[in-house]
Structure 1
Amino acid sequence: MTTGRIHSWDLSTGVDGPGTRFVLFLSGCPLRCLYCANPDTWHMRDGQPVTVDDAMARIERYGQFTDLAGGGVTLTGGEPLLQPAFTAEVLHRCKEFGLHTALDTSGALGARADDALLADTDLVLLDIKSFDADVYQRLTGGHLAPTLNFATRLNRLGVPVWIRYVLVPGWTDDPVAVDGLGRFLAGLDNVNRVDVLPFHKLGAHKYDTLGIPFPLRDNPVPRAALVERVRDQFRAYGLQAQ
């Protein structure tokens, strides 16, 4: 029996895919994004061990409700592709149960998602942290190329994608980088929308609880005009940005 480690679960509407969704937060992440709102999901060892049957028993309990609400199930984290076998089996079982499935990922471990896993994924919520490779590395501790390779592969396979772009003043607001990402995304046929997500500090208390510094504690949040400017940049490339 495949076992994974999860942080928590929740029900959400509108932010983790279409409709009302059962959201399963998996533990463990290879990135250390400076703005991360969930540092309590970084380490797999801190998660609760559950079998696929355990996870499905809870998912199925809400299955009729989420289905009637036009939703489904979203696997997020942390980074669900850090646990590819568990993630793949949960997605497959959800599809067998008739539920819409979504995978929220940075794409950094996209190579771990085989074609069978992606065939059971109705939507990928792809977090592209920056289109500037140097900024991406300083912001996340990881590398941009695997995410772009994954985006290209999803396009080739015809898997629908919603892009998530966190707007952090001084980090991800550079007009040249935003235009570069807009051009890249416009060259893909499977990008249904781009969500420009304003940087916030709602997770700051978690850093305090864990006794670790929040690197962007003093960084300003974006003004409404900046958010709209970036959305307009994406719209200029024919993308649905919100």
Structure 2
Amino acid sequence: MLRVHSYESLGTFDGPGLRLVVFLQGCNYRCLYCANPDTIDLKGESQKTDIEEIVRLAVNEKPFFGKKGGVTFSGGEPTVQAKDLIPLVKRLKEQGIHVCLDSNGAVWNKYVEELLGMVDLVLLDIKQFNPERHKILTERSNEQTLKTAKWLEENNRPFWLRYVLVQGYSAFEEDITAMCEHLKDYKMIQRVEILPYHTLGVHKYESMNKEYKLKDVKENSPEQLEDARKIFSRYFSVVTVN
């Protein structure tokens, strides 16, 4: 059984092609800009769901996946439920369905390692390369995330690098450049995705009686996004702005 928060059918932003996105409950990070604060708590308002129900949903949507699409597990942080996710991924692979894992890479145990060895693609969210600024942004260390990136590289597991551009927090040229220098020789990075900062989840904070701490942070201008794209493009051949 998995704790599922919600689903998105035929999503286009979380991996290649059209995808069934399964948002799992529970997260180990406390990102200041989190758009899904209702997924953080390990229980929340989620539903315990039998894995066969998710397999059924995926198989029903399989005709729309084409050659590139499939299922993406997001959250929350899906590796929080890695042990229970493993048998589901096995079932999906038996059905010939492509599986993506959208992860911050900061949870590590034998179940996570097994899971990363099974999925077809990891969408690795590196929130900040600078350790001090990362802690301000997420209240957590980025040490394990960088170790996970190294593990993916050493074990020939393809991944996309995702980076949310937040002015005053992660949009520093020196930090982006340092991260690119650190990762520039990684052959398993297939794509870099720059994710613009947005405030679409602010209403959730209001409904939960929580303070949204970045209310004074403005969304990225086209120029700011283009500047970031140029930096990443010096190091990586495929860079997109989502």
When normalised by structure 2's length, the TM-score is: 0.94
Shift of the alpha carbon at 1:144? Answer: 0.6
Per-residue Cα deviation, 1:100-158 (whole angstroms, up to 9, x for no partner)? 11000000114454443223211000000000000101100111110000000001111
Matches within 5 A, 1:167-178: 167-178=165-176
Which of 38, 41, 55 does residue 40 from structure 1 map onto? 38
Kept in 1, the 8 Å contact 2:83–2:112? The answer is no
Number of the residue aligned with 1:199: 197
What do the CA deviations read for 1:52-80 (whole angstroms, capped 9, x no partner)? 122212222212322x2630000000000
Aligned to 1:151: 149
C-alpha contact (below 8 Å) 1:186/1:239 kept by paired residues: no
* Contact 1:19 1:72 (C-alpha < 8 Å) held by counterparts: yes
Of 158, 179, 185, 2:183 maps to 185
1:163 shift after superposition: 0.8
Alignment of 1:116-155 (within 5 A): 116-155=114-153
| Unaligned ranges ≥5, structure 2 | none
Residue identity in the other structure for 2:239: A
**Is the contact between residue 84 and residue 112 of structure 1 (CA under 8 Å) also seen in structure 2?**
no
For residues 4 and 155 of structure 2, the distance between their equivalents in structure 1, rounded to whole angstroms, comes to: 28
CA distance in 2, matches of 1:55, 1:229: 40
Tell whether 2:69 aligns with 1:71.
yes
1:105 to 97, 103, 106: 103
1:33–1:115 Cα change, 3 Å? closer
Measure, in 2, the Cα distance between the counterparts of 1:143 and 1:112: 20
Is it true that 1:53 corresponds to 2:55 in the alignment? no
Whether contact under 8 Å (2:192, 2:236) holds in the other structure is no
AA aligned opposite 2:13 = V
Q: Matched residue of 1:5: which SS?
A: strand
Residue 45 of structure 1 deviates from its aligned partner by 1.1
- Cα distance in 1, alignment partners of residues 79 and 121 from structure 2: 15
Secondary structure, counterpart of 2:16 in structure 1: coil
Unpaired runs of at least 5, structure 1: none
Q: Which residue is equivalent to 1:18? A: 16
Distance 2:114 2:129 in 1: 28
Contact 1:25–1:75 under 8 Å retained in 2:
yes
**Stretches of 4+ aligned residues off by more than 3 angstroms:** 110-116
Residue matched to 1:233: 231
State how far apart, in whole Å, the 1-side matches of 2:142 and 2:122 are: 17
The TM-score with structure 1 as length reference comes to 0.94
How much does 1:38 deviate?
Answer: 0.5
Counterpart amino acid of 1:58? Answer: L
- Comparing 217-226 with 23-32, greater Cα deviation is found at 217-226
Q: Secondary structure, in 3 states, of the residue corresponding to 2:73?
A: strand
Confirm or deny: 8 A CA contact 2:24 2:77 kept in the other structure.
yes
Name the CA distance, whole Å, in 2 between partners of 1:117 and 1:28. 17
- Secondary structure at the aligned position of 1:44 is classed as coil
Q: Structure 2: how far apart are the matches of 1:109 and 1:236? A: 30
Distance 1:166 1:102, change over 3 A: same
CA deviation after TM superposition for structure 1 residue 30, in Å = 0.8
